Each structure stands twice: as structure tokens, then as C-alpha cells.
Amino acid sequence: MKKIYKFGSVVLSFFIIFYSVDKYRNYSLSLMPKEYKLVKKIFDKISINNDLGNRPVSIIIKAGEAMHYLMIDTGICKDEKNICFYFENLDPFRKYRGYRSRDVNYAIKQSYLHGHANASASPTGTILINRSTFKVLEDKENFIAAALAHEMFHIIQFTPFEASLKALKEWQDNPNKTDEDINEVFLNKKQMIEAEADLGAAFMLLQAEYPKDTFVKAMEYFYKQSGIIHTKGQSKRHPNYITRINLIRDFMNDKSFKKNKLKESSSPLTWRYNRRENWLKFYPNQIKN
């Protein structure tokens, strides 16, 4: 009986240790990939003298848009519109098993090696970042901060709600307008919102004591690393490169572009991390998590 009890105690002890280690590894901020640690560092700095809103924000590092073409090349993705969102959003920090896992894992590696720097935001309060961003912008923390600030401002704006609302009002006032006309209204407003996010991000970085010209230098670099900037398709949702840079420079050269001390900022941020689900989340100090 004593032997059974002793054996059971040993098994239970191993189970508790295993569970504790697994839980610590999954949720520990100190064991996060270096990319997530850099994101945390940047947002901690930005939050000291900025208002980041009153809701939680999730950051997800994903495989990236290059997966779209790679999955089509392999024949794994056969979506009718060839939009392989599932593969673009895969967790790049884990290895996959099962059907054609070797091809999927190699594609994730290729997406990291050959992908561009890119980030996006959702009105749900989520920022998505290609893992390749951290390779392209290696040793350029200021530029990564610029990308994060731009997307953070979109979350504050609830983009693209305002653009869609303007299009809806236009349709109600002019019900005979075509879908193309209404979509043009949406895209024009979307461009204005993108410009507002540029200026908001530039000021956000200034507030965080990054060099004054950080955002404009980052934007110039983003366009250079993308390579092609002259096509009309690239200017549908954003102002074209020349217009965009000029708007940012004009704003930065204005006398109003100066740092202000906030009475209440979002610092200190409360952080949560989940390795298995691949997300990092912060809560501004104005809200309870």
C-alpha cells in the first residue's frame, strides 16, 4: 500500500511540475520570441506620454503575405480568388505536421527570408505584423515603432468605419449613384484616414521622444523596400508616395508639431502573452483587465 501511495505521489509530483513548466512557458513574457519582446519594448516607450485609447490591443506576428504566392505555387491553396488568408496568418514560430507539412514549413521559412516589411490593423483592436518585417528592419527599431504607431492610430480611429459611414451617407443622400461611385467615396475617405494616421503616428513618436523625423524617414524606407510605387492600385487606399511624404513633411515643419506633456497617459501597460495562440496583448492603465 505504501509503495502504491509513494508511486502515486511521484506521478502526481511529476504531473504538477510538468503542468507548471508548460504553463510558465506558454504565458511567460520573458520566454517570448525576440520579435514580441521588441514590440513590447516599443509600446512601453510609446505609452509613457501618449493616450492609446481605452480598450485592449492584441499584436499578432504572422507568416505574411508572401505565403499567398508560395501556397499557390505549391498547389496547396486553391481558393477561387487565390486569396490564401489562412496560410498568410499562420504562426511563424511553430512547425506544422500533417498533410504536406514539409512544404508549409518551408514556405513559412521562405516568407520570412523574402517577405517585405508590412503591418496592418483591424477595428477589432488587433495589429498584424509580418515576421519578415523584423528581418527587413533589423537594427531599425525606430522604423518598427513608426509602423506600430501608424497601426495603433488606426485602432484609435476604428478604421475603416468612418470611411464606410461616409459612403453610406452618400448613398442615402444620392440613392441613384452607382456602386462604383459609392466605392470611390469610400476610397477617397479612406485615403484621408490614412493621411490622418500618418500625422497621428508622427506626433505619437515625437511624444515618445523618438527623433523628430523618425516617421518620415521610416515611410521613405518602407516604400523603398517595397520597390514598385508608381502603380494606380497602390494609391487606391493610400495617398501616393509623393503626396504622402509631402503631407508628413508639412505637418512636421508646422509650429504646432511639438511635444506636449500629458496629464494622463496609457502607461503603465499591463501585458498578457499566449504562445500556443500566438498573441501578445496590452491593456492601457485606464482599463481593468
Same domain, 129 and 26: no
Number of compact structural domains in the chain: 3
C-alpha cell at 82: 487565390
The answer to whether residue 267 is domain-embedded is yes
Could you give the C-alpha distances from 175 to 39, 180, 186, in angstroms and in order?
A: 45, 13, 15
Same domain, 27 and 104: no
Which alpha helices (H) appear in the chain, and where do they start and end?
Answer: 2-27, 34-47, 66-74, 85-88, 101-114, 132-136, 141-157, 161-173, 179-207, 214-226, 241-253
When pLDDT is averaged across residues 23-39 and rounded to a whole number, the result is 94
The answer to whether residue 182 is domain-embedded is yes
The answer to whether residue 220 is domain-embedded is yes
- Of 126, 123, 124, 117, which Cα lies nearest the Cα of 145? 117
Same domain, 91 and 135: no
The answer to whether residue 201 is domain-embedded is yes
Same domain, 162 and 79: no
Higher pLDDT, 233 or 27: 27
Same domain, 147 and 42: yes
Alpha-carbon gap, residue 153 to 90, rounded angstroms? 25
Give the DSSP H/E element, type plus range, for residue 61.
strand 57-62
Phi-psi region of 125 (alpha: psi -120 to 50; beta: other; left: phi over 0): left
pLDDT, tens digit, 9 for 90 and up, residues 62-71: 999 999 989 9
Give the DSSP H/E element, type plus range, for residue 138.
none
Alpha-carbon gap, residue 182 to 164, rounded angstroms? 10
> Is the pLDDT reported for residue 289 higher than 50?
no
Same domain, 192 and 271: yes
The answer to whether residue 288 is domain-embedded is no
Percent of the chain scoring above 90 in pLDDT: 65
The answer to whether residue 87 is domain-embedded is yes
Alpha-carbon gap, residue 79 to 17, rounded angstroms? 45
Chain-centroid distance, C-alpha 131: 10
pLDDT, tens digit, 9 for 90 and up, residues 125-141: 999 999 999 999 999 99
Contact assessment for residue 90 and residue 63, using Cβ atoms and an 8 Å cutoff? yes
pLDDT, tens digit, 9 for 90 and up, residues 186-217: 888 888 999 999 999 999 999 999 999 999 99
Same domain, 139 and 268: yes
Q: Provide the domain limits for residue 8.
A: 1-31
Same domain, 136 and 248: yes
The answer to whether residue 108 is domain-embedded is yes
Q: Which pLDDT band holds residue 15 (cuts at 50, 70, 90)?
A: low
Same domain, 195 and 238: yes
Same domain, 46 and 77: no
> Is the pLDDT reported for residue 262 higher than 50?
yes
Same domain, 164 and 255: yes
Same domain, 23 and 98: no
The answer to whether residue 24 is domain-embedded is yes
